Structure 1
């Protein structure tokens, strides 16, 4: 995933993120689930992020997957949610990015407070 590597290089080293929750929708990942997990793990290792919890959900089988994600984020005090793509969160990108950075690997993007940050710079948390 060369575009993932571009995001990795463009994020500042002192971005303040240390603890993350990884999230993927198994119904979207399908046969690519192992590849998506590996990409998230690699991204986090390269950045020095610690994955404190994985939330995997199937929208057709799991009730309220975004609520599970928010609860996991709150319980862990995670600074960010890392996911394969915004499609895994759907309209929940705005909800999740209201409380944590959302980092998508494909296409590479960083979301904060419902806004896609095109320049990949993290705003202050104040």
Structure 2
């Protein structure tokens, strides 16, 4: 059996509204198409007031997830993908379909050319 990386789904009920089931379905479809193993759907309802990002990060750590898929950037406060989340886990949006990937290595800087005398 081949290993499939684990992914989470995440959405906010106040952003999805009546389209919540549709958003969940689109998250699952994209995960399947990208070859991920579905582990959990983290659903945040602001009426209960718990910090959603902390819960999402904790669940990602607990499940050793490689990625989280969200319907759109609007499901995060300010409609921006949180940089602290991307440091921990890849974030993939359904619409528009984009990936915000963790950097596993720092970018390589241009090195000065070697001198002919070896110094």
- Shorter-chain TM-score tier: 0.7 to 0.9
1:60 is matched with 47
Q: TM-score if structure 2 supplies the norm length?
A: 0.76
Q: Hey, which bits of structure 1, 4+ residues long, moved more than 4 A?
A: none
1:29 is matched with 16
How many aligned residue pairs are there?
A: 101
Alignment RMSD, CA only?
1.9
CA distance in 1, matches of 2:61, 2:85: 11
Looking at CA atoms only, which structure, 1 or 2, has the larger radius of gyration? Answer: 2
Unpaired stretches in structure 1, ≥5 consecutive residues: 1-15, 114-122
Unpaired stretches in structure 2, ≥5 consecutive residues: 106-119
Query: 1:1-126 alignment to 2 at 5 Å?
Result: 18-90=5-77, 91=80, 93-113=82-102, 125-126=104-105
Q: Aligned-pair distance for 1:106?
A: 1.0
Q: TM-score if structure 1 supplies the norm length?
A: 0.72
